[in-house]
Amino acid sequence: MNKRIKKLRRELDLTQEKFGARIGVKGNTVAQWESGRNEPPDSSLAFICREFGVMDEWLRFGTGPMYAPEPTTELDALAKKFNLKHKDYVFIEKLCKNKKLRELLIDFSLEFAQDLLSSNASPETSAFGDIHDGVPSTPEELEEMYPPVKEDKREGGLR
């Protein structure tokens, strides 16, 4: 993998510093990966693939094409443009293909918005009221609500 990282960086004509900056690591970290002293964590490999359009399988194992194929559909182009995760892609694909589901989701969203707007409460108000309701704000209010118990010096404790 170290040789493939180096090959990619050189192909992109980037220094180790500039390559590292694009994926959120320092240049000396890239140098350690390229020399084989350290292995990049999965999170860094994911950043490399996403940032430079490289295929994960090629980067890890040297198999398959180096670069991800160009999008073939409008949805693929949107997924690339907005860096959609797989679950986002599938969600949008299902909405596009299923008119009944799309209408149901729109109707639900409109009903939800109308209910929210017709209520007098702020959308940020807790559904169960304020947790601080009834809590005294000063020590004096606390003592007034719950007077201290006086200690009895005799055996047996409190009065």
Q: Which pLDDT does position 107 carry in this prediction?
A: 95
Ramachandran class of 125: left when φ > 0, alpha when ψ lies in -120 to 50, beta otherwise:
beta
In this structure, are 9 and 40 located in the same domain? yes
Distance CA 15, CA 27 (A): 8
In this structure, are 14 and 51 located in the same domain? yes
Q: Which amino acid is at 112?
A: F
Q: Which of 51, 45, 47 is nearest to 4 (CA)?
A: 45
CATH number, domain at 21?
A: 1.10.260.40
Mean pLDDT along residues 12-19: 94
Mean pLDDT along residues 107-117: 91
- pLDDT over 70, % of the chain: 90
Mean pLDDT along residues 105-130: 81
The mean of the pLDDT values for the chain is 87
pLDDT in tens, 58-92: 999 999 999 877 767 888 888 888 888 888 988 99
Q: What is the pTM of this model?
A: 0.46
Please report which confidence band the pLDDT of residue 159 belongs to, taking 50, 70 and 90 as the band edges.
low
Helix axes 2-11, 27-35, angle to 10 degrees: 130
Tell me the DSSP string of 6-41.
HHHHHHTT--HHHHHHHHT--HHHHHHHHHTSSPPP
Q: For residue 145, is it within any domain? A: no
Residue 26 near residue 20 (C-beta atoms within 8 A): yes
pLDDT in tens, 33-58: 999 999 999 999 998 998 888 999 99
Q: Is the pLDDT of residue 158 over 70?
A: no
Q: Which two tokens stand for residue 10?
A: 């050189």
- How many separate domains does the chain show? 2
Domain region containing 22: 2-61
